[in-house]
């Protein structure tokens, strides 16, 4: 019996740009089996109807109300019906063979492959060197995992919670999603279909406005460490040079204000040299026309302070959820058992069924190496339900320690959800008992868990939490944790966040 073709929905987030009509028309002209549906997500905040050209095929329009690119894509894939979701930007064009090529790319992919990336082509002028703006757009053809044309398996999106709406711009949210999907055990592969990404018309000072993306860079660094650019296939950025240039300009102004003439002249000279080097770096490859050179000179002076401003704001926002006002640095780590430390087997009393979650051993090794006591806090309502006894629970815990090493404390709630106890998460009792046994304050404890009750237990005890989402994690729980606490794609990353808090 022949294998069924995978069902595929196309999702296009838009703010109503005129290029949307050209994309939909190119989709309509694509030969071969059409996608099962095209879902256009209207992300304009206003309520006026979105004008969508009439094209053959099934096109649905849903509203997301101005939540931003990440939120619009989430609304799109949640509304779509396909097993695969092909995300397209509203300013790309697909060739006539795109639908056929998409089917070929997706057919036969094994279950461990979560996504297929298209080859993105950026047409550049043949009669002259490209401008700085055109070169920036052309870099998309070499970028990893961009959603200009990226097809994701629906089940993989559901597992990691889709796009992270903490990213407000269409800049790093696609790379963040791919990293989380890969760390969940999936692969991302390169497909053979091709998509054209035309260069949009540049507006004055567009490169200065683009520096807002430095705030997203701060969030990427917070989540994936200092080498995050290597993880997404990028070379080093220029933020250090921008910091030097901005510091020189600030120093020149401060010294002049204080009438420190020599210091002001030296700082001004450093600023001028750094700005000239940056401008030359951008002017040399281009057409060197008068308008281009003028734009490069002006923006090369404005970009460094703009980049530093947005990076500082991003670092502040990225760091805010990590520690609330009055909260102490972590002195102990408490880990949820089922779904976080080990695979979730409902009401498990069999040690042979214990299987550590990915990264559990490495994360625990890092925490213990830093001298942090690690304990376990777990709800075991199977005891109250008569499905388990204390001996079975202890046998499972002995196997966990055999596989992952000893824990400083085990705190168990044996009650059912209707017993009204204080210890069952999301109540604070388990955290408070663990803190007392470890000799630390509850506010000094970090709880690592996979669902909202783990986060709520930490908060109700006055501590902090790191959410490590799994397929059990509800999207509202993930969103709440991203605003109130911290979210990590895996246990190793969760351990790194805890160590950063110290």
Q: Which residues are known catalytic residues?
A: 336, 338
* Cα gap 435→219, rounded to integer Å: 31
CA 327 to chain centre: 26
- 11: its two tokens: 């999702």
Strands 374-379 and 113-121: unpaired
* Cα gap 315→214, rounded to integer Å: 9
What does the DSSP 8-state code read for residue 167? -
Contact (CB, 8 A) for 453 and 472? no
* Cα gap 502→483, rounded to integer Å: 20
* Cα gap 243→307, rounded to integer Å: 8
Best CA proximity match to 339, nearest among 224, 429, 454: 454
- 291: its two tokens: 């308008």
Instruction: Please tell me whether residue 435 adopts helix, strand or coil conformation.
Output: helix
Contact (CB, 8 A) for 415 and 384? yes
- 49: its two tokens: 């109807």
What does the DSSP 8-state code read for residue 131? P
Contact (CB, 8 A) for 149 and 88? yes
* Cα gap 443→432, rounded to integer Å: 9
- 195: its two tokens: 């998509």
- 59: its two tokens: 């096109």
* Cα gap 322→338, rounded to integer Å: 24
Best CA proximity match to 401, nearest among 446, 435, 366, 361: 361
CA atoms within 13 A on the CB side of 267: 18
Residues 6 or more apart from 235 whose CB is under 8 A from it? 229
Q: Tell me whether residue 190 is exposed, middle or buried, using C-beta atoms within 10 angstroms of its C-beta: 0 to 12, 13 to 18, 19 or more.
A: exposed
Is residue 150 left, alpha or beta, with left meaning phi > 0 and alpha meaning psi from -120 to 50?
A: beta
């Amino acid at each position: 019996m022949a294998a069924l073709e995978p069902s595929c929905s196309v999702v296009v987030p838009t703010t109503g740009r005129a290029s949307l009509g050209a994309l939909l028309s190119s989709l309509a002209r694509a030969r071969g089996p059409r996608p099962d549906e095209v879902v256009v997500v209207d992300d304009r905040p206003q309520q006026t109807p979105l004008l969508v050209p009439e094209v053959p095929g099934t096109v649905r329009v849903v509203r997301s109300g101005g939540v931003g690119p990440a939120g619009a894509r989430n609304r799109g894939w949640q509304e779509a019906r396909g097993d695969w979701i092909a995300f397209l930007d509203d300013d790309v064009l697909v060739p006539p063979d795109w639908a056929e090529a998409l089917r070929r790319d997706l057919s036969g992919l094994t279950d461990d492959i979560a996504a297929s990336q298209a080859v993105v082509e950026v047409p550049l002028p043949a009669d002259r060197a490209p401008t700085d703006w055109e070169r920036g757009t052309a870099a998309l053809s070499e970028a990893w995992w961009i959603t200009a044309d990226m097809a994701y398996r629906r089940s993989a999106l559901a597992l990691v919670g889709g796009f992270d709406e903490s990213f407000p711009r269409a800049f790093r949210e696609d790379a963040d999603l791919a990293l989380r999907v890969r760390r969940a055990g999936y692969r991302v592969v390169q497909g053979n279909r091709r998509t054209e990404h035309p260069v949009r018309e540049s507006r004055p000072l567009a490169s200065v406005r683009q520096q807002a993306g430095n705030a997203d860079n701060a969030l990427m660094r917070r989540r994936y460490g200092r080498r995050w650019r290597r993880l997404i296939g990028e070379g080093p950025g220029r933020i250090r040079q921008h910091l030097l240039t901005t510091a020189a300009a600030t120093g020149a102004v401060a010294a002049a204000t204080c009438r420190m003439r020599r210091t002001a002249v030296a700082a001004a000279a450093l600023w001028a040299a750094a700005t000239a080097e940056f401008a030359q770096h951008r002017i040399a490859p281009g057409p060197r026309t008068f308008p281009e050179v003028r734009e490069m000179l002006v923006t090369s002076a404005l970009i460094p302070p703009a980049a530093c401003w947005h990076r500082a704001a991003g670092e502040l926002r990225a760091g805010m959820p990590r520690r609330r006002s009055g909260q102490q640095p972590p002195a102990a780590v408490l880990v949820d058992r089922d779904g976080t430390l080990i695979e979730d087997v409902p009401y498990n009393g069999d040690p042979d069924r214990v299987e550590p979650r990915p990264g559990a051993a490495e994360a625990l090794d890092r925490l213990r190496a830093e001298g942090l006591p690690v304990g376990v806090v777990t709800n075991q309502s199977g005891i109250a339900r008569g499905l388990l006894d204390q001996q079975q629970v202890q046998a499972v815990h002995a196997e966990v320690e055999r596989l992952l090493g000893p824990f400083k404390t085990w705190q168990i709630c044996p009650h059912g959800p209707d017993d009204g106890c204080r210890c069952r998460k999301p109540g604070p009792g388990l955290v408070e008992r663990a803190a007392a046994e470890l000799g630390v304050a509850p506010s000094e404890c970090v709880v690592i868990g996979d669902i909202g009750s783990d986060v709520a237990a930490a908060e109700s005890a006055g501590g902090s939490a790191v959410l490590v989402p799994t397929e059990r994690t509800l999207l509202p729980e993930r969103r709440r944790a991203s605003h109130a606490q911290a979210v990590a794609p895996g246990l190793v990353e969760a351990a790194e966040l805890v160590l950063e808090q110290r």
